[in-house]
Structures are given as C-alpha cells and as structure tokens.
C-alpha cells in the first residue's frame, strides 16, 4: 500500500485548529512558537499531561497534545470549572486533543477517523509506541505556558 | 459545560452526566430528561448509535450534538438520526446557550 505524508497546507489545518481552540475558549489565541519536522525521536517530546488520539480510516497515525498542569488548570478556570481534580485535568487534556483532531476533519473529511482520547499523566511508553520517527511538531505558548502538538499522520493512498 | 448550563438556563437541572454512550442510554431510560447534549466520539457506544438508541426510546426528545468533528457529513448523519442541533467544538458560552435554547424551543 502506498503511503504519503501530509503536506504543509494540511499541517496548517492543525495549526489553525490549535490557535482557534484557545481563542474560542478563552478569548486569547495560542501563539505558535514553531512548527517543524521532528528529529528522530526515540522518546517523543511531552510535558506532564498528554491527550493522545489515534487516527484510522484513509489515514494512519496519531495526534497528541501535551502540556503542564498549570496550563490545564487555567483552561479549567476559563471553562468555569473549579474542580481541578486529576480526573478533570485528564478530561481537559483529552478534550484539547479531541477538538484539534476533530476540527481537522473540516479539511480531511470523515475518512479521517479519530479515536476516543487516551489521556496520560507523566511519561509513558504508549506515546513512544504511537509516534513514528519523524512527526510534525507544533510548539505553542498560551498565557505564558508552553505546550506541544505532535502530528504523525500519513495518507493511505 | 454543566456549569454554564446551570448558570445560564434558569430552572434547568442537570439530571445526569454519562461518561460513554452505553451509560448515556441507561441514564436516559432512568431519568427521562427533557433534553440531551451529547458528544459523538465516545467509548463503548459512539454518538450516532447513541442517538438511534435514544430516539427509539423517545423520538420527541431534543438532542443537541456537541462535537469536535467538523466535517459536514458527520453533522448531517447526526441530524438524520434524529438530533435536533449540532454545535461544533470549540464553542463560546453564548453559542452553547443559544444552541440549546434553539433545540428546546423547537419542541
């Protein structure tokens, strides 16, 4: 089966989804610090909390969003949620990953099938297992807090 | 979302919060709510199937789908199954309240 990595234009779909997510939720868009093709990442870059979506259908790969706890707490405050329990923090990071991936279907269509988010606190083997050697990496800053979106996506032609 | 709904829809009461589609159907049977908000990407039973199940129990109940899935085909599929409205994530508080009021007023 032939496979093809996503294009720069398609990568921008995810960048837009990330910035618009924070804009809609908090009135403050995330600032993109960099977007690049990742190096050979035997241990993919991540922060304390990660929401991982696996992709299937006419595409294969994964998308994950990872950030520190303080960013999630600020997100929950923006949602009017004062319960910052572990469960809600994990829900929040999964929700960001879900929204970024789901919004990308505006461009890719329903053939981009997305999974329920897997949420992780701390480093885990499941990220390493899910991500290929050279994914796209988008680093962002929101209200002074860094976060990362990793996109590992190929089209099955 | 539950906080927004409780604060912005006076008289509204959240009678149940389900973590997946199968639980949503069980809770629907138990509580018989006046309206339902639902995601589509859920474990155990996805939202489209869940709409079907709820419609089979009570086809009059207004369902507002709230989903990140931004393609038109998905929205149309949900509406064809019986959902009354479709709101894309991310959304503002104002959009959520307006969408829910609209699906309820269609009753």
A-chain residues near B43 (CB < 8 A) = 116
- Tell me, what's the pLDDT at A4? 74
Tokens 């939202």 map to which residue? B47
Helices (H), B1-107: 2-8, 21-31, 47-57, 72-81, 93-105
Q: How far is B34 from chain A (nearest CA, A)?
A: 24
Report the residue of A99, A114, A142 to disrupt the B interface, i.e. the one with the largest count of B CBs within 10 Å: A99
Contact A24 B4 (CB under 8 A): no
Closest chain B residue by Cα to residue A22: B90
CA distance A105 to chain B (A): 5
Instruction: Say which residues have a Cβ less than 8 Å from residue A87's Cβ, sequence separation at least 6.
Output: none
Per residue in B14-68, pLDDT (tens digit) is 899 999 999 999 999 999 999 999 999 999 999 999 999 999 999 999 999 999 9
Half-sphere exposure of A116 (CA within 13 A, CB side): 14
Structure tokens at A24: 């809609």
Phi, psi of A67 (to 5 degrees): -155, 175
pLDDT tens digits, A90-141: 999 999 999 999 999 999 999 999 999 999 998 777 777 777 667 889 999 9
DSSP state of B9: S
Do residue B92 and residue A24 have CB atoms under 8 angstroms apart? yes
Residue in chain B lying closest to A19 (CA): B90
Q: pTM score, two decimals?
A: 0.90
Instruction: Pick the closest to residue A97 from A10, A1, A18 (CA basis).
Output: A18
Instruction: Check if the beta carbon of residue A66 is closer than 8 Å to that of residue A49.
Output: yes
Q: Looking at per-residue confidence, does B12 or B30 come out higher?
A: B30
Q: Please tell me the distance from the alpha carbon of residue A118 to that of residue A47, in angstroms, as a whole number.
A: 15
Residue corresponding to tokens 């910035």: A19
Residue A107, min C-alpha distance to chain B (Å): 8
Please check the confidence at residue A3 and state whether its pLDDT lies above 70: no
* Mean pLDDT value across chain A: 88
Question: Mind giving me the DSSP string for chain A?
Answer: --EEE--HHHHHHHHHHHHHHHHHHHS-PPEEEEEEE----SS----SEEEEEEEEETEEEEEEEEE-HHHHHHHHHHTT-----HHHHHHHHHHHHHHHHHHTHHHH-TTEEEPPPEEEES--HHHHHHS-SS-EEEEEEETTEEEEEEEEEEEE-
| pLDDT score recorded for residue A5 | 74
Helix (H, G, I), strand (E, B) or coil at B55: helix
| Residues in chain B within 8 Å Cβ distance of A109 | 71, 73
The CATH number fitting domain B2-105, selected from 3.40.50.2300, 3.40.50.300, 3.90.1150.10, 3.30.930.10:
3.40.50.2300
By CA distance, what is B43's nearest residue in A? A116
CB A78 within 8 A of CB A26: yes
Domain ranges of chain A: 3-156
Q: Please name the member of A81, A110, A114 whose beta carbon is closest to the beta carbon of B41.
A: A114
Chain A residues contacting B, CB < 8 Å? 20-21, 24-25, 79-81, 95, 98-106, 108-110, 114-116
Over the stretch A48-99, which tens digit does the pLDDT of each residue have?
Answer: 999 999 999 999 999 999 999 999 999 999 888 889 999 999 999 999 999 9
ipTM, two decimals, is 0.85
Q: What is the pLDDT of residues A12-50, one digit of tens each?
A: 999 999 999 999 888 889 999 998 887 766 666 889 999
Closest chain B residue by Cα to residue A27? B92
Which residue, chain included where needed, has tokens 């899910």? A130
Burial class (CB in 10 A: 0-12, 13-18, 19+), A125: exposed
The CATH class of the A3-156 domain is alpha beta
């Amino acid at each position: 089966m032939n496979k093809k990595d996503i294009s720069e234009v398609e990568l921008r779909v995810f960048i837009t989804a990330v910035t618009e997510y924070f804009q809609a939720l908090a009135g403050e868009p995330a600032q993109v610090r960099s977007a690049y093709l990742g190096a050979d990442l035997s241990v993919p870059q991540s922060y304390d909390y990660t929401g991982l979506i696996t992709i299937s259908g006419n595409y294969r790969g994964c998308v994950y969003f990872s950030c520190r706890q303080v960013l999630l707490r600020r997100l929950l405050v923006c949602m009017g949620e004062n319960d910052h329990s572990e469960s809600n923090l994990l829900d929040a990071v999964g929700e960001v990953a879900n929204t970024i991936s789901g919004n990308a279907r505006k461009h890719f269509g329903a053939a981009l099938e997305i999974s329920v988010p897997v949420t992780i606190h701390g480093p885990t083997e499941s990220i390493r297992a899910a991500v290929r050697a050279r994914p796209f990496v988008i680093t962002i800053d929101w209200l002074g807090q860094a976060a990362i979106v990793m996109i590992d996506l190929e089209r099955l032609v | 979302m539950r906080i927004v709904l409780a604060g912005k829809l006076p008289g509204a009461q959240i009678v149940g919060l389900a973590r997946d589609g199968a639980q949503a159907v069980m809770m629907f049977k138990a509580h018989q709510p006046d309206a339902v908000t639902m995601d589509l990407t859920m474990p155990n039973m996805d939202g489209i199937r869940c709409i079907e199940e709820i419609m089979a129990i009570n086809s009059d109940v207004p369902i507002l789908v709230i989903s990140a899935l931004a393609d038109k085909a998905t929205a149309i599929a949900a509406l064809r199954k019986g959902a009354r409205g479709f709101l894309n994530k991310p959304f503002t508080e104002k959009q959520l309240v307006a969408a829910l009021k609209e699906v309820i007023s269609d009753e």
